[in-house]
Amino acid sequence: MKLALALCATLGLVLAPAAYAQVSCSEFARITSEGLGDFSAITGDEVQDDLYESSVWLSGADDCGIGMEWDSIYTCLYQFDSYASASASWSTHLAELSSCLAGWEPSDTAVDDVANDGFRTLSATRYSGTGDYEDMDWAIILQEHTGEHGTDYHVLVELVYWL
């Protein structure tokens, strides 16, 4: 019995972050709606040139921001120490997004054979909008990041509003 309780407690700790990180369709719908207004209602203070804080974050994200250099891009970052954890998160976000974007056209994008400035795209899927959203793309991107402190992995969930 003690072993069963210990196993359940351990499993609960392992699964809790994954359950917390799940994003709902209402979150995607809100961000998509905000995108039609160039994200102005959720744009916070400027952090760098053309990069702003966001007042709305997707569940479990480590950071979310809005870039406005050329197009308006809402991006949330999830960071992981291992490829296995990042890959599992990428798969979860991909399933969530695909179930929330009925009618949007999915397409896989190119992966990188070599890193560019320490970043290498391992997997990426885009969903192109139609109708009122024809100038928008949602994307789920899995990246490997190698820097002076070693290698970590990023999952980016982003919405681009093509101006």
Q: What is the mean pLDDT of residues 35-47?
A: 95
Q: What is the mean pLDDT of residues 95-103?
A: 92
Q: What is the mean pLDDT of residues 25-35?
A: 95
The confidence band for 109, taking pLDDT boundaries of 50, 70 and 90, is confident
- 1-24 pLDDT, tens digit each: 333 323 233 223 333 344 335 788
3-state secondary structure of 85: helix
Residue 144 clears pLDDT 60, i.e. is over it: yes
d(CA 52, CA 46) in angstroms, rounded, equals 4
Cβ neighbours, 10 Å, residue 101: 20
Residue 120 clears pLDDT 70, i.e. is over it: yes
Residue 115 clears pLDDT 90, i.e. is over it: no
Amino acid at residue number 102: A
| DSSP per-residue string spanning 114-141 | S-BTTEEEEEEEEEE--GGGTTEEEEEE
Q: What is the pLDDT of residue 17?
A: 40
Residue 91 clears pLDDT 60, i.e. is over it: yes
